[in-house]
Amino acid sequence: MKFIVASQFFEKLPDVCFGVVVARNIDNAAVYPQIDAMLEEAVAVAAARYEGRKIKDEPAILPYRRAFQTLELNPNKFMSSIEAMFTRVGKGKGLPRINPIVDLGNALSLKHALPMGAHDVGQMDDDIEVRFTREGDSFIPFGEAEAESVPAGEPVYAVGRKIRTRRWIWRQSELGKIGPQSKDIFFPIDGFASANKEAILAARRELADCCARIFGCRDVKIDFLDASHRETEL
């Protein structure tokens, strides 16, 4: 099974790049005080920094807003996941505890100011791709049971014909969501070589270290995809 970024996506965003972490045999039903502390600290730091500020004007957020515009997505209507997270935290609403895998990803997203996904590899029956939608693709919104059709040409994460994340890094599907039973996880970290590559590499390094040190994962895989290296084994 692979993670693949379509060449057409790089034609639209030549500078886009992806940090990759794959961790296996996580016990996501256990309790990890270290992760609780990391998330609490990350939320507190972000809340203090962004209180009362216009998140859309922050230097860390602008590259994603420009990319959304290039992809013909309205960034005011469809905020990237990291902009939405900072907006929520900046308003003093904090972040809910979900489960250790999601909480770790959220803590590091806030710390490094990067969108970071988490996909359950055990629920994949095909490669996961960043590509543009085709007629016949479907999406089940988070918390829903019924699939909805999606117009062709929208940037997504997809497994086969089933979309895992709409509008690139906007909203994940009910399919592949992380639960207590999830153990093998693919974490993509989305960014841009000229804007935040060093932050991506730092976040990738810290995430891989946390998976080994906190979760006890062995042989954590890391990689980095760009226009010259578009796919990797999961």
Residue type, 5: V
What pLDDT, in 10s, does the model give residues 57-115? 999 999 999 999 999 999 999 999 999 999 999 999 999 999 999 999 999 999 999 99
CA contacts within 13 A on the Cβ side of 59: 4
Which residue in 192, 175, 88 sits closest to 128, CA to CA?
A: 175
**8 A C-beta contact, residue 129 and residue 140:** no
What is the rounded distance in angstroms from the CA atom of residue 2 to the CA atom of residue 4? 6
pLDDT value, residue 88: 97
User: Where in the sequence is the domain holding 200, given as residue range(s)?
Assistant: 2-233
Evaluate if residue 149 carries a pLDDT over 90. no
pTM of the model: 0.96
Split into its structural domains, the chain has a count of: 1
Residue 166 belongs to domain with CATH number: 3.50.40.10
